[in-house]
Every structure is written in C-alpha cells, then in structure tokens.
Chain A
Amino acid sequence: MRIKWVECAALSVMAALSVMTGGGSWFLALALGVTLLKCLLIPTYHSTDFEVHRNWLAITHSLPISQWYYEATSEWTLDYPPFFAWFEYALSHVAKYFDQEMLNVHNLNYSSSRTLLFQRFSVIFTDALFVYAVHECCKCVDGKKACKELTEKPKFILSVLLLWNFGLLIVDHIHFQYNGFLFGLMLLSIARLFQKRHMEGAFLFAVLLHFKHIYLYVAPAYGIYLLRSYCFTANKPDGSIRWNSFSFVRLISLGLTVFLVSALSLGPFLALNQLPQVFSRLFPFKRGLCHAYWAPNFWAVYNALDKVLSVIGLNDKWFGSAVPTHSPSLGDSLGHPHLHPDCHIGPRGFLRCLILCALSSFMFGWHVHEKAILLAILPMSLLSVGKAGDASIFLILSTTGHYSLFPLLFTAPELPIKILLMLLFTIYSISSLKTLFRKEKPLFNWMETFYLLGLGPLEVFCEFVFPFTSWKLKYPFIPLLLTSVYCAVGITYAWFKLYVSVFTDPPVGKTKKQ
C-alpha cells in the first residue's frame, strides 16, 4: 500500500514541477491546490455511500454480468445504470492490488485502511476529468473585459467557483460519491455545445445518462436545444425558426449516436432479458416522496406547513388526505411542465433552460436527494460570471443550496471543516462577483442580504445551541426541519427569480449571434 501511494506522491511531484516550468500557470495551481486539499480530506468521516461503492466493486468484480442487477446480499444493491457498473468493474481491477478482501461480496462493511486509500484516491483521480472539463468551460467564457488583475478575470473566478465548489468537495471527498467526473462529463458536454461541437456534446451527455440517470432531469433541455440549434440549420433574420431548414441527416445522426450509446449500455441486459429488472433497480418508486432528510424543495415547505397545521388542529381533510396520495407521476408531472421554448437563444439560453430543468425537478421531483442541488449550482456558476442578475441568483442559490448540505456531515471533527470551507467558498464567491460587477447595481437587495445573513444564526442555533437544550431528546428533528425549510425558501426564491429572468430579460444570445 505504501508503495502505491508513494507512487502517487511522486506523480504529483512531477506535476508540481511542471507547474513551475509552465511559468506560473494559475489554472494548474488552482487544480493542484484543490487536489491536495482533497488528499488532506482522506481521513475524514465517510457515509454509507462508501460501503455502497465498495459493495458495487465487489459485485462487478466477482459476479457475472447476469447477476449484477439481481445480487442482493447487501442492502446496497446496484442501482446505477450499466456504464457506472462497468466503471466500478474497471476500478475493481486496480483495487485488487490494494486489498483483495474489499472485492468479496460477503465482506459487508469491510473497511481496511488500504480500502479507504484506494476508494478515496479513485475519486481524486477520476476528478481529473472534472478539471479538464472546467478548463474547457473557462475557454467558453468570453473575456470581453480586459482586466489586468488576474484575480478579477471572469475565467479565474469561474475556475475557482467550479474547482473549489464547496458542495462537490464535501459530497465527494468527505461524504463519498463519484460526482466529480460525472459533473465533468456534463460540463464537458456543455462546453462542447458552446463550441458548436453538437454531436460530441450529445454523445457525452448520452454517455453521462448511462452513468447516472439523475441527469435525466436536464435531458429535456438537451433534447430541445439540439433539435432547435442543430437540426434546424438556419434562422430567420429576427432569430425565429426557419422551418424549411430542417435537416433530417442531422436528426438521424443524433438519434443514431444516442441509440448506439444506449445499445452499448443496455444491450447486454436486453440480450439477457433483464431490462425490467434493471429498470426496477434504477427507478425505485416504492421509496417515499421525500428522502429521510427533506431536501429543501417545495415538498419540504408543503410538509412543514402540513405538520404545523396538524399540530394546530387546522388539518383539514383535503389537506391531510392529499399527502398519502402523492404519486411519482404527480411529482414528475409537476416537475416537467416547465419546458419552454427558451432554448433557441444560443448556448447561454440552453444553459439557462438546463438549470431551470434541474431546479424544477429538484423543486417538485419524487424522492429528491438534497445533493441534487449541485445539478443546478454547477452549471449556474457558468452563467454567474456573465451577468450581474445571474450572479445574484447564483449566489442565493449556491449559498442556500450549500448550506442545505450541512446535515450530510454531522460528526464533530468535520464540523470545523464544513464551516471553514463553506465560509471560504461563500466569502470568495460573493466578494469576487461583487468586484466583477462593481459598476452595476448591488447584487442583493436588503431582503436578500437579510435572508443570507440569517443562515449564520440558524447554524449557531442548530449546531451550537440546540444540542444543549432540553428539546434535543424530545424533538431531535427540529434542526433538520429548520434547515430544510429555511433553505427551501431561498431555493424557491432563486428558482422563481431565474424563471422570471428567462421571460423578462432581453435575449442576450440574439444580439450576440448576429
């Protein structure tokens, strides 16, 4: 084990040396810096997701494909699409050199120090894709402002916002998940769309969908944008659609790409006649509307109101009876009517639409996990460095969204880390965006400022005051409830503001396009 990671260290030294020879490349320094921070986070607490992924390593390594989606020794069954399973399969072939024991399906909750090192480093290494994607995204940001100061360049700010994203750091490198490279795929496909490499973008997104199906949330935005901007090859002078420019060749090539990727992913299971089983694993609708900890969305507010009303005794029949009859279709149908024809205003319009899709799904989706907010925050970073209005939405969304991730880390040693990192990211993002848009009107009005400042006392109450009060035993859920509801307000507000901005703002893309 020692030899292994000493090799890693040697590699990093090489990388560090290349930084110097590169003559102070700030991007590499930022990327390496955050990578080293991730290495420092190795001994921190990890959640059950650690065991989940270890179990998947074991399943894919030791069982034939036909049993991947049937195996149920552990309660953490494989419930990601096939590409992710293949990813675990590939990892397991490195894992065996670290510790053979972690690849045993019956070794439940196995966690040796080598296993820990391997799993943590696998996340850190696969993040290389994310770093590359951020690099590509930075190219798409137009640096029309010629600032001399490096720290005031939109590119610099964007790369810090993405690379040092608080949510990604704690979810991936403390809580333990592989979101880094998945978001890397997503950002890369967005960057490709910005660069007018549509086929590549579509391909990457199709691959991403077969890695983790949560990205279905934003699939509508891709569908419409590709249809509108790629399949229709020309516009009328006023920017509206020119119907006769429709290219069937492009549509078919797009369709073929997506089909081939899906065939590669699902084909083997179709051949084994296991598709229904795979889908039942991927979409477990038997779970409840809300996750154990309420994600800060519409349902959280709804549930809270319901609870308050039932406590007061006002719980009317229609109100109470509505709760158990929620169905996935209700949740999803509420989540999906927000497709709108915004996607025609160039890649920025697409990005806006994508964020709106992600956010709407987060707001109204079925069994939403609080981590899903990253799906909106990360792409929103791209928009934030472009326009003051977007920056303000981003700041509200990211601050509340990140704060809502706090309950993920509930152990004492991680308390300072999450507070320090959150402060680091929040102070940096707010101040740098304020500096960037200092010539325009202030980013926040008094109400927003007040709301954001309120997060401080909320944190103090939840983590420092409440545990010492007598309510702790009687109402242990109160901090979670408060966090969830408070953040839900902010996220709903950001969602609303984004929605409004889509319809009221002058289409930026239109002027840029011509």
Chain B
Amino acid sequence: MEKWYLMTAVVLLGLTVRWTVSLNSYSGAGKPPMFGDYEAQRHWQEITFNLPIKQWYFNSSDNNLQYWGLDYPPLTAYHSLLCAYVAQFINPDWIALHSSRGYESQAHKLFMRATVLIADLLIYIPAVVLHCCCLKEISTKKKIANALCILLYPGLILIDYGHFQYNSVSLGLALWGVLGVSCDWDLLGSLAFCLAVNYKQMELYHSLPFFCFLLGKCFKKGLKGKGFVLFVKLAGTVVASFTLCWLPFFTERAQALQVLRRLFPVDRGLFEDKVANIWCSVSVFLKIKDILPHHVQIIVSFCLTLLSLLPACVKLTLQPSPKGFRFTLVSCALSFFLFSFQVHEKSILLVSLPVCLVLSEIPFMSTWFLLVSTFSMLPLLLKDDLLMPSVVTTMAFFIACATSFSIFEKTSEEELRLKSFSVSVRKHLPRFTFLPRIIQHLFIISVITMVLLTLMTVTLDPPQKLPDLFSVLISTELTSANPPLLLRKTGPELTSVPIFLYFICGTPTTAWCAKRCHVRTQDSNWQTPGRQSRTYT
C-alpha cells in the first residue's frame, strides 16, 4: 500500500486520542464504598491472583460476590490474572487480598489505563486496520478515511478509556472473527469468535449471525459432501475452544453451573438505570415492570427478540454472503439491544461495532447511528465526569465522518439503500420522492435535539418530581425511532428518526418489496436494502 504512512498516522492519532481521554476520570473515582467498574477490574485482579481457581466464582469469606464478584466468563478472569502478575511485579499493594480494596493512586491509574491501551493495540486496532485494508471496491484514500472514522468512534473510546472497561478485547476478537469468516478462514474466524464469547458473554448478541452465516456456507457446499465436513470441523473448533477456556471449571458440575449462574443473572430486572431500549421507552407511559410478573417479562422479551431477528437470520442462512453477514450482525445485535431482557446501556457498543463495519457502504446512516449511540450513553458518561471528552471526541468523530465521506451528499435513495422501498411505495403514492430530503432534515433535527438535550442535562437541574427526566428523554430520543406509534404518542420532544427501524426492518422489508416489484437483481448474493439500486444505475 503506497499510503502506508497515512494509515500509520491514523493509528497514531487514534492512540493519542485514546490516551488523552484516559487522563480523565474513571467510573467510581473516589466514591466509596462501592466505587465503579475501575474498582471491579482491579478487584478481579486481586481475586484471581490470590485465590485458587476453584474459588473465583464462589462466595466465600475471601471473595464477597456482593462486592464486584466476578461475573464475566473465564477468559476475562485469565486476563485479570495476567494483569495481576504485572501488577505484582510493579507494586504488590495494588492487588493485596482485602487490604487493596478501593485502592486508588495516580500510578495505579496509569497502570490500569496502560493495560487497556496495550490490549487495544494488540487486538482491536490491528483488526480494524486489516478490515479497512480488506475492503473492496474503494480507493486507498477511502480505506484510510474509513479506518480513521472507526478508530475515532467515541463510544468505545469513552467507555474503555474513560469509564473503564476492556470492551476493545471482546469487540476486537469478534472483529477478528468477522474478518476470518468473511475471508473464508472459517475455522480461525470461529475460534476468534469463541474467544470473544468467552471473554464477555454479551458477545452472544453476535452469535446468531455467525451461526447462520456458517450454516449457510455449509448448506451452500452441500450437506452431504464438503458442507458436512466443514460443519464437523466448525463444531469441533467451537467445542474445543470452549473446552479449553472452561477446562479448570469442568472438574465439578457445581463449578460450571455456578459460573453460568454468575454469567446470566436472570433475577435482575427487565432493564437497569436508563437504557435506550424499547422497555425503558415504553415504561415512560406504561410501567411494565409493575404490570407484568417477572417470568412473563422474560417470555415477552424473549419472543419479541426472536421475532425481530428471525427474518434476517433466515435470509442469511439461505443466501450467505459477507456483506449480508455484516448487515445481519447489525440487525441482530440491535434486536437484542432493543427487546431483550436486562440490557445495559453499554451494550450499544455491540451494535456499534457492526455498524462501523458498514460505514463505507451506508456512510450517512451509520454516522447518524454512531452519533446517536454515543449520545445514548451520556447519562453514564456524565456520572463519570466525562462530559468534556465526550463532547470533544463526538465532534471529532463527526468532523472525521463528514469530511471523509462528505455524508451530506450521500443521501440519495440509492445511497440510503432505500431505492426498492421507495419504488414500491411509489406504486401507490406516485409523488413519494421526498424521502432523501426528509431524512436530511431529520438528521439535522436529531443533531440539534442531541445538542439541546446535552446542554439541558448539563446546565439545568431537572424538576424535583422527575429527577430522571433528562435521562429518560435521552433514552427515548434514541428509541422513539423504532416504533412509529410511540413517535406519534410522545410528541415534539421525540424528534428522532427511523434509523433503528431502518437497520432492523430494512433488510426483510426490502427483500419483500423487491419481490413484489419484481426487481431483478444482478448478483445472486445477499442484497442489502437497496443493493438492488445497482440495477437501475
């Protein structure tokens, strides 16, 4: 690549931004007795280093599970152990059993931040660079611009380097999985994805598309011949990698069960805090938490999730293609985020990652989504005192996207992948030609609303009666996009956009429209909503 130096510059810039953000505060800084995620990660180092592996997930006098008990899969625990060894080398006080609880110092913060940076540098960043280099049909310059935008995505930076988590590890591994599977290194890809799931169970959001895509590949090769061999190989890889990760916990049945119970705590509520998903939005008007009994909540959310992701998954299984795979990843992760049980606001990162992957294909919508997703975490970031870096990095991301994709010129029906949809609507409404303009206006309104809401959250004290008003507004701003009904109901403050709807329903709807309009598609591969447009140009 003749422009390698620009790519290097982009990576260095991404690293610089990451490190400067990490100079800011972290979650739970100086807030005893529970502190925050930063303390959780430190505590896990303490636990994994000092206790035998059998006690990691069990409550004991040395391991109080009420105080940030380990609730991530084994790979996270191993990573903590590795970090703990380094910490032991530098300063044993950082991970001393019991006495190190709530340990905070400048040097320790530096150490913790450095561990995040190193993990990011080893796993996530190379994957992003490789992904951009592998993109087809675009110029080198666009590849670099794409890498810049993905690396500057503020949500991940702020959560990992501000709030403090290691999302870049699990997301990076998942990205390696996507890369592997897309490039036909199916075994390596599924290995990487299994590692991702074993690092953070939330990666299960991505598991269905992986499963469907690989299954589809097997079908394509013929279930009786090569396809079956591939299937067996894949199954072997998955089983082997899981066994390897869980080996120390397989000695007793109780061990494995306890780990599972820690990973999936169903007894928590439908949603926590203010999450920008459908449950939180609906509960503005309807207190679902009080109306429905606990187990019904679980069933309802399960059914809705399943319903919403079924069409995309079926389609992917029948017509597997890398492009369709990426779009299905988006829509499945989004279904989980919107409808599933007990979602955390940080889970939006799991949706953002696949959206980053389609950034070069639908720049306008993806940029919009990524901005909104960062905005949806504002309450969390405010709690961590990260307003300043959030505003700055969001603007930087916006500028990067605006200049590298000139997004405002890319709002034609084709570029929004809505051609076949509008064609089918035009059959009934011949004057339906204003869609791009509407979407542009909606974008501007949405950006202005986000800015105003940010200003309001920061400057005004919310009314005493409704202390959560602003956070609820924020989360509804994000979701109101989804159910049109809600949009009508909730009035002018929900000036949001059908962006989620677009991603979730776009795929099946367009397929349906395409059929009805008898749109001929030239390549038999997966058609993203509007890929059909190619036939018109």
Give A residues with C-beta under 8 Å from B.
2-3, 5-6, 9-10, 12-13, 16-17, 19-21, 23-26, 29, 32-33, 36-37, 39-44, 149-151, 412-413, 416-417, 420-421, 423-424, 427-428, 431-432, 435
Contact = CB atoms under 8 A, between A and B. Distances in A.
Contact of A416 (B19, B402, B458): B19
A5 B391 CA distance: 11
B141 A151 contact: yes
Interface in B393-424: 393, 395-396, 398-400, 402-403, 406-409
Contacts of A3: 459
A24 B9 contact: no
Given A2-B459, A427-B5, A19 B402 contact: yes
Contacts of B3: 151
Given A33-B396, A36-B392, A431 B5 contact: yes
B72 to A, nearest CB: 27
B21 interface: yes
A21 B406 CA distance: 10
Nearest to A8: B391
Interface string B433-455: 00000000000000100010011
Contact of A427 (B12, B402, B407): B12
A13 B399 CA distance: 10
A13 B451 contact: yes
B402 A20 contact: yes
Nearest to B117: A416
A40 B21 contact: yes
B32 to A, nearest CB: 22
Contacts of A29: 399-400, 402-403
20 contacts: A6-B455, A6-B459, A10-B455, A13-B395, A19-B399, A20-B402, A32-B395, A39-B392, A40-B20, A42-B388, A43-B24, A151-B6, A413-B23, A416-B19, A417-B16, A417-B19, A420-B19, A421-B12, A427-B8, A432-B5
Nearest to A434: B5
Nearest to A149: B141
A24 B141 CA distance: 15
B396 A20 contact: no
B403 A423 contact: no
A149 B6 CA distance: 13
A44 B13 contact: no
A416 B15 CA distance: 9
B116 to A, nearest CB: 12
A130 to B, nearest CB: 19
Contacts of B403: 19, 24-26, 29
Interface of B: 3, 5-6, 8-9, 12-13, 15-17, 19-21, 23-24, 106-107, 110, 117, 141, 388-389, 391-393, 395-396, 398-400, 402-403, 406-409, 447, 451, 454-455, 458-459
A424 B12 contact: yes
Contacts of A33: 396, 399-400
A5 B19 CA distance: 22
A37 B17 contact: yes
A40 B17 contact: yes
A9 B389 CA distance: 11
A435 B455 CA distance: 45
B15 A420 contact: yes
Given A41-B20, A151-B6, A424 B13 contact: yes
A21 B458 CA distance: 28
Contacts of A20: 402, 407-408
A106 B480 CA distance: 55
* A-B CB proximity, top 9 nearest: A431-B5, A40-B20, A29-B403, A424-B12, A36-B396, A420-B16, A24-B406, A39-B392, A20-B402
Contacts of A435: 5
Given A29-B399, A432-B5, A23 B406 contact: yes
A5 B388 CA distance: 9
Contacts of B392: 36, 39-40
Given A23-B406, A412-B110, 17 more contacts: A6-B454, A9-B395, A12-B395, A20-B407, A24-B402, A37-B16, A37-B20, A43-B24, A151-B3, A412-B107, A416-B15, A416-B19, A417-B20, A421-B12, A423-B12, A424-B12, A427-B9
Contacts of B388: 5, 39, 42
Nearest to B396: A36
A43 B23 contact: yes
B537 to A, nearest CB: 23
A125 B339 CA distance: 46
Contacts of B451: 10, 13
A44 B407 contact: no
Nearest to A32: B399
A417 B19 CA distance: 7
Give the one of B13, B17, B20, B391 with max A CB within 10 A. Answer: B20
A283 B116 CA distance: 49
Given A9-B391, A420-B15, A423-B12, A16 B399 contact: yes
Contacts of A43: 23-24
A424 B399 contact: no
Given A9-B391, A16-B402, A424 B21 contact: no
Contacts of A413: 23, 106, 110
A42 B393 CA distance: 13
B20 A424 contact: no
Contacts of A42: 388
Contacts of A12: 395
Nearest to B139: A149
Contact of A6 (B13, B15, B458): B458
Contact of B395 (A16, A26, A424): A16
Contacts of B17: 37, 40
A163 to B, nearest CB: 13
A43 B113 CA distance: 15
A113 to B, nearest CB: 11
B361 to A, nearest CB: 19
Contacts of A25: 403
B424 to A, nearest CB: 31
A435 B3 CA distance: 10
A16 B20 CA distance: 21
A29 B405 CA distance: 13
A467 B435 CA distance: 64
A149 to B, nearest CB: 8
B327 to A, nearest CB: 26
Contacts of B23: 43-44, 413
Contacts of A424: 9, 12-13, 16
A36 to B, nearest CB: 4
Nearest to B113: A413
A273 to B, nearest CB: 48
A2 B19 contact: no
A432 B5 CA distance: 8
B109 to A, nearest CB: 8
Contacts of A6: 454-455, 458-459
B148 to A, nearest CB: 10
A42 B400 CA distance: 21
Contact of B458 (A2, A37, A423): A2
A16 B448 CA distance: 12
A37 B18 CA distance: 11
Contacts of A151: 3, 6, 141
Contacts of A16: 395, 398-399, 402
A41 B24 CA distance: 10
A56 B17 CA distance: 32
Nearest to A38: B392
B9 A428 contact: yes
Nearest to B459: A3
A3 B408 CA distance: 31
Nearest to A150: B141
B16 A421 contact: yes
A402 to B, nearest CB: 15
Contacts of B407: 20
A150 B406 CA distance: 15
A72 B15 CA distance: 43
A456 to B, nearest CB: 15
